[in-house]
Structure 1
Amino acid sequence: MARPPSIDDDLLIDLIVSVFREKGFDGTAIGDLSAASGLQRASLYHRFPRGKEQMAEAALDAVGKRFGWILEPMREDPTVTRGVTETARRLGEFYGAGSLSCVLDTMTLAGAPPGIRDHARSLATAWIDAMTDASRRAGRRPDAAVRAAEDAFVRIEGALVLGRVTGNTGAFHETVALLPALLVPEGPPAPAVSG
């Protein structure tokens, strides 16, 4: 009979995500993951036979699922402003009110394998696409919606970097609070452009 794992899979992945979020792919050693999880290296390799790269993939899969939950209101709520507001709240929670680094950023620092970079890029693209779609549904022309989404993404990521470097999370709080205004134009929706 197999011995039960000493840590459940969800908690293990959360701990792995936190290490990669803090140290990035290249800066993370198996010893860091072992210390964070309380598992011996052999136990980690038993669960992740391909080692650190497989652990990083699992971490990004978990982040992708969490982003799905974060972005759901913005994608699904028929009242765009309400959906964007709830997504902003969830982003604030996910990033510890601006005190946590963005795992998409740290995982793509120098030394990350191409597959990890591609995975992080696809998550960032899905996030920008969701914001673009919300902005378009709120009445912006497609090109203006893309610009608004990219601007919002840059502001959020920049605020996270600023918080990490200076310890001041005020810019993150402000950016998250402004997310509805960044994505939803003032006034009535513009008429749809056909063509």
Structure 2
Amino acid sequence: MPAPLMSREEIVARLLEIFRERGYDGASLTDVSAATSLGKSSLYHHFPGGKQDMGAAVLEQAGAWLERDIIGALNAERPPLRRLDAMFAAVRSFYGGGTRPCILAALVTGTARKLFQAELTQTFQRWMQALATMLTEAGVGAATARELAEDLVVSVQGALIVSRGTDDPDLFGDTLRRQHARLKAALDAAQR
């Protein structure tokens, strides 16, 4: 019986998960084929450039999540604290509370880094810039806002790695709580 047809979005979502779990270099075409239920010829039909096209599609989907759930939350027409809360909720959800690996980390190591460096740089910078802009608009000084935004993204990425390495997702949750409190305190101080 043939495999049910999947949309490209569903295929890319499965690719994202296999790259998250195995890394770009660690995911073989056999792994990708098993994860997507597509034969190698079908994979090349959808991704003529092979694994590099697959990685680009995954990075594009991660970028779409960032724009919709993170940037969208930070740019929403609501009070700054509610924007911050929405951003943290999206981060918590996307990373399964610290149980799911970071797709950006999977693409920033090995051969993927050279292939996708420009897109990775843009993704990290976009997140930091959106957060810094929101903080600045709320009255936080520009230099402090930039520092807080950089610290948040670095902390989230580091906490994901350490949480996975220690098999303790509470480390991720604790890091998010501390970063949330730090950003909230900066917003509160700016409002005085």
Shared fold (TM-score, shorter chain, > 0.5): yes
Aligned residue for 1:6? Answer: 5
Q: Which runs of 5+ in 2 are unaligned?
A: none
Task: Give how far 1:112 is off.
Answer: 1.5
Give runs of aligned pairs for residues 14-163 of structure 1, distance below 5 A: 14-71=13-70, 72-112=72-112, 114-163=114-163
Alpha carbons 1:30, 1:41 under 8 Å: kept: yes
RMSD: 2.1
* Off by >6 Å, runs of 4+ in structure 1: none
Say if 2:186 is the partner of 1:176: no
Counterpart CA distance in 2 for 1:156 and 1:4 is 37
Worse overlay, 97-106 or 131-140 = 131-140
Work out whether residues 145 and 183 of structure 1, in 8 Å CA contact, stay in contact via their aligned partners in 2.
no
Alignment pair present for 1:189 and 2:176? no
- TM norm structure 2: 0.90
* Post-superposition offset of 1:183: 2.6
CA distance in 2: counterparts of 1:33 and 1:4, whole angstroms: 15
SS at match of 1:189: helix
CA deviations on 1:47-97 (whole Å, 9 max, x unpaired) are 110100001000011111111122111122331111110110011110011
Which whole-Å CA distance do the structure 1 matches of 2:126 and 2:183 have between them?
16
Distance 1:179 1:79, change over 3 A: farther
Give a deviation string over 1:126-171, Cα, whole Å, max 9, x none: 1111111122122211111111011111111111011110110112
Q: How many residues align?
A: 189
More helix by share: 2
SS at match of 1:18: helix
Deviation at 1:187, TM superposition (A): 3.7
